[in-house]
A and B are shown apart, each in its own frame.
Chain A
């Protein structure tokens, strides 16, 4: 893999909260056009990892590299990352469209209204454009949150358990969307509890346990059987 193709890299990445070690020296690279699936039990450090990659938190040691940036220019780094977190980041009193226009303006998108309309159509939310975000179902809100994360067309997309709350049809559509993002050259880091989704979507999988890598499928696409075996081993340990 060439250096230029690496879209996201973590080098010796550590995060401590006082005496608690959330991440203990992670090293990995995510090439552009690929999906890294990150698995692990609760408290493994998956969400902390995404928040470090998104520039929401500073590492205690090590560094994050987004494209050619080395984590020093955190503003630029934030602009190259689209982050869809556990929470939706939506304002319930703003309409669906207003939420997207606001996010677009925060990210300096040239024509925020047009971009919002395009994303609403893409996510099948155009009919709900004038509805308050607080009145959406969980699945609709999740689709809007994903649109919000992609509003600035970022080269790196971070998804924290995006399938939560989606019905099977919406989950299938999201899985297609994740594949399309990677096919369009974006690097995707996908945190999930779903081993089947990780195997289906991931070009590489990391299993985190207490902030350390317990399994890494580096060099091969993860199979559901390999992930299940690794998960059982972790559970046994």
Chain B
């Protein structure tokens, strides 16, 4: 557990001092929201509510892709990734530390994006903020779990910026199905759709366990 906390602490302190990743993710997410706002203008509140879940998650996934790519780029400097891989711990704990840091950073960006999104599309998110936070947390867990795994794989490839989305996006389909459906349910009825939450829970469990177990081999040369 101390390895998880050490990696989480290291990533958050590094990000706090650099701030390049969180700023890039936030600016990118805001731009995506703006582009969507102009590309798909909602004529009324009903249409905005109908479009909002999918568009919000598009912004979240794009911002997540950018952040996950940067998460391992910082480990390339001075070959720090090898230093991590030398830890005499199950490398699954390293994965959990990296994934937790990604989760926290992505969460901060998502919260800010939600505010911008609500303003741009005129959607009332405040009344469902608690439920939305739960859905976003569940969706982000799956995104960060599998994204951290594939970020570690892609970082050693020649075309890592292209490789990560190519590997990650197809796998994110069940996460997006569950997250968009659950968000839609919240905005339409104010309640959580249990089947969507179940889909997110199952996907999170599968992604989390597989990523934890396979990280040992991912860090081998």
Contact = CB atoms under 8 A, between A and B. Distances in A.
Interface in B1-33: 2-3, 5-7, 9-10, 13-14, 17-18
A166 to B, nearest CB: 17
Interface in A86-103: 86-94, 98, 102-103
Interface string B55-90: 000000000000000000010011110111111111
Given A56-B82, A87-B79, A108-B2, A93 B87 contact: no
Nearest to B90: A75
Nearest to B2: A105
B86 A94 contact: no
Interface stretch (A76-84, A187-195, A223-231): A76-84
Interface string A21-42: 0000000000000000000000
Interface in A143-170: 148, 152
B88 A79 contact: yes
Nearest to A105: B6
Contacts, number: 81
A89 B13 contact: no
A80 B88 CA distance: 8
Contact of B13 (A54, A58, A85, A94): A94
B220 interface: yes
A93 B17 contact: yes
Interface of A: 51, 54-58, 75-81, 83, 85-94, 98, 102-103, 105-108, 148, 152
Interface of B: 2-3, 5-7, 9-10, 13-14, 17-18, 74, 77-80, 82-90, 220-221
